[in-house]
Structure 1
């Protein structure tokens, strides 16, 4: 599927919602659903470009092979961010794009996974 100029513009508008205002100082987690892989890739590319203009790297983490297990690893990385000792350097800021997060929906995945679900 070819990405039309209209869809590219839409992807850039969506990216602007992720990278705006006080970015990179503050950004609440957000969820985006795309109708197909082409649109999802366009949105991820637009977010990566917008974040890069602010000096922030984007890391895409594909949760699809094992969503719960891979999300546990992401959660562990985030928990360590605020648990730094005095004088310890903060990890570099980055956008974490979790591809396949929607696969965690359903009764078999109801257990809390801090900080994403409670």
Structure 2
């Protein structure tokens, strides 16, 4: 029912600082592991992290092509993360089946029951 596997996932991340790029990549580990399995994941434990590529892209922006120049840097990283995953196999759980019947009254039946008022309870005055 409970099993443990070791797998490797490749994740990408980007951000305006190095720390944000790596954090973005590590946050993608859970999403990537979830896509590869139909079991319930109890625990994801990273064992090893290796950097496949890490790049920095510098761009210079100017307001109206001349004014207020500034440089912006965008970091991107690709990581290979080896993880131990503890899974719960839902298919291995034996569910007992029980059948119960529930009687319900439809709204049409309720309206019909309300319209049948006995004559002695009729509040309208009879005129002759």
TM bin (shorter chain): under 0.3
Between the two structures, name the one with larger relative contact order (CA 8 Å, sep ≥ 6): 2
Normalised by the length of structure 1, the TM-score is 0.21
Between Structure 1 and Structure 2, which shows a larger proportion of helix residues? 1
When Rg is computed on C-alpha atoms for both structures, the one with the higher figure is 2
Between Structure 1 and Structure 2, which shows a larger proportion of strand residues? 2
